[in-house]
Amino acid sequence: MELKISLIENALDSIYHGLDHLKIAIDNNSSSDYKQSILLIFQGVELILKELLVQENPIYMFDKNALFEKCIDPQNPKLDELYNCKSLDIKQICTTIKKLYPDLLDKESFKIIECSAKIRNKIQHFSLQIDKQELSKMIAKMHGKVISPALRHIGKRFLDGSFNNPFKVRVEEILQFDRIACQEVEILKMEDVDFERGSCFACRNYTFFFIYSEGPSYPESCYCTSCGYSKGNLSHEEKYECPECGAFSLLYCQELEAGICLWYNCGNHKEGGLLTTMEWCSDCNSYNIESICKCNSNEENENS
């Protein structure tokens, strides 16, 4: 029987096993498991960043000189030729990611990658002395700032049909969205983040997260770990009364051209991320929500 492991599958496998070791390390104060966790998770990060390069073009993963040296046609190399080519190191990968995806990762994300790379190198080639709690925090940050955004982008491309699949990867079997969301839950708990989970308004998967910064009032941000749909700075958005739950937690989403309720207990949120019809009414200068706005509300009051 043939063993076949794709790039994205290899990345996720390393990340999952790394997080398993991290849980064991924290529960048992195990130095060996801390070591394995950073080695595996960083390996997963490196691989998932390479998957982002593949999404644009597989040749971006490899050193240009190696491509010209080993491949008959460097712009259209054969798979067997690529196996003989030198791939980019983590610094070169980050440089290329910045060019191809300028808005995906911020400066802090790349600093975390750089710091993790140094720790990985110390473990592999020298010795390591680091506070275990700081190491756990760094891994959690790497998940939030690097792994999660990368997975959301890859998931979005798969769901909208733009996933570049040159090696015929079984993406639907590998990208187990529920497992990725469960992993997100563990990391958020580890970071002591106040959150709620529910169904996404865009893809309707149960992989949507509301993040709170000041207790269980209005969320500060929300995002889906499957399709990449997200909204930030929610505290500054104008909110309206939701016709489903009655809470003033409904806001208009231009991307979805409909309203979404920010209260995690709302029926719309629990029943698969149902959208609320909202259309702008120029007469009353507000939204017509489920065919009701200030105009017809005033008419009803006058008639009564």
The pLDDT score that the predictor gives to residue 20 is 92
Q: Residue 99 to residues 48, 53, 102, 303: CA-CA distances in angstroms? A: 16, 10, 6, 62
Q: Which residue has the tokens 């020298």?
A: 126
For residues 220 and 193, is the Cβ–Cβ distance under 8 A? no
The pLDDT score that the predictor gives to residue 58 is 85
The pLDDT score that the predictor gives to residue 245 is 86
Q: What are the tens digits of pLDDT across the range 182-228?
A: 989 989 988 888 998 988 999 888 899 999 886 656 788 999 998 88
* Rounded Cα gap, residues 91 and 118, in angstroms: 11
What residues of the chain score a pLDDT lower than 50? 301-304
- Locate all alpha helices (DSSP H) within the chain, ordered by sequence: 7-28, 31-56, 64-70, 79-82, 90-100, 107-125, 132-142, 148-159, 171-174, 177-190, 267-270, 294-303
For residues 49 and 93, is the Cβ–Cβ distance under 8 A? yes
* Rounded Cα gap, residues 226 and 178, in angstroms: 8
Residue 277 in tokens: 């019809």
The pLDDT score that the predictor gives to residue 299 is 52
The pLDDT score that the predictor gives to residue 109 is 95
The pLDDT score that the predictor gives to residue 174 is 56
